[in-house]
Amino acid sequence: MTYALFSSSANRYDWHTPPLHYQHDHAFVLSRLPSPPCRVLDVGCGTGVFLEKALAAGFEVTGIDASAEMVSIASGRLGAERVRIAQMEELAEFASYDAIVSLSWSFNYVRSLADGKKTLDRFFQALRPNGHLVLQIVHAPNATGVLNEDREPGPEGQPNDVLFLYRFEQVPEHSNELRAQYVYGCKSSNELVFEEHLLGAADARQVAAEAATVGFEDIEVLDSWRGELLCRSVSAFLLAKRP
Ligand SMILES: C[S@@+](CC[C@H](N)C(=O)[O-])C[C@H]1O[C@@H](n2cnc3c(N)ncnc32)[C@H](O)[C@@H]1O
């Protein structure tokens, strides 16, 4: 599935989702990785914002993303040698990384929990012994269906030029799926995009159970970067280690 937000509108991604929004998440993820220098893979790295911080912190970084447009933006940030176009479901590396991260729900672009389990197994194989896994994933049972609104400055700093609306709902009868609806608008460029994304493996506790079956240990499911156990959040952190 090709989504406009990750393809034709990819060069607007950092307008409606500014890097600053994720500073606490990224600081938390960096704090949970093994000490640099070590090899970190970001799966679904998007525009490369997290990897840019990891690189500055001394990690050896690699990013993969299914979208050529996102990879092109990330390679502008990081250098083309550090990012490549690839589907996470086809990752075929063995004992290559000390840590694998996948943030802002990239992991949930798997179609189902069964595909999620196969992808977790690929992550397991790609990690070295004692390797760390950090996933920021959807927890659909906590989705409220409430419409949220962000307003951001435009490309020239125009106040309130960019509008981003989003709403998350658990799909009725499918506790493992989340419907995410997005509207991106920009007044100065006269753009308007609406699209709906269907996210899979959308129950963080079930993903944690599958991670255990593929061999991960020390599994934690947290509510946010603050570190409390999952309770109210629609966006959970799953941390685990390969023994
Ligand atoms: C919501 S964005 C998050 C990007 C980035 N992780 C961040 O935190 O800003 C989801 C990303 O996952 C990528 N993606 C979707 N399906 C994928 C797949 N099967 N394999 C790899 N990347 C995928 C999209 O192209 C997009 O860049």
Atom 5 of ligand 1, residue of closest alpha carbon: 46
What pLDDT is attached to residue 136? 98
pLDDT tens-place string over residues 180-199: 999 999 999 999 999 999 99
Domain boundaries, the chain: 4-140+202-241, 143-199
> Could you tell me if 40 and 231 are in contact, meaning their C-beta atoms sit under 8 angstroms apart?
no
The verdict on the CB of residue 25 being under 6 Å from ligand 1 is no
Identity of the residue numbered 17: T
Q: Which of 28, 47, 109 should be mutated for ligand 1, with most atoms under 8 A from CB?
A: 109
* Residue 35 exposed, middle or buried by CB count within 10 Å (0-12, 13-18, 19+): exposed
What pLDDT is attached to residue 56? 97
Indicate yes or no: pTM above 0.95: yes
Look at residue 152 and tell me whether its pLDDT is greater than 80.
Answer: yes
Sign of CA pseudo-dihedral 213, 218, 223, 228? positive
* Residue 72 CA, ligand 1 centroid: distance in Å: 13
Please name the CATH architecture into which domain 4-140+202-241 falls: 3-Layer(aba) Sandwich (3.40)
The verdict on the CB of residue 67 being under 6 Å from ligand 1 is yes
What pLDDT is attached to residue 175? 81
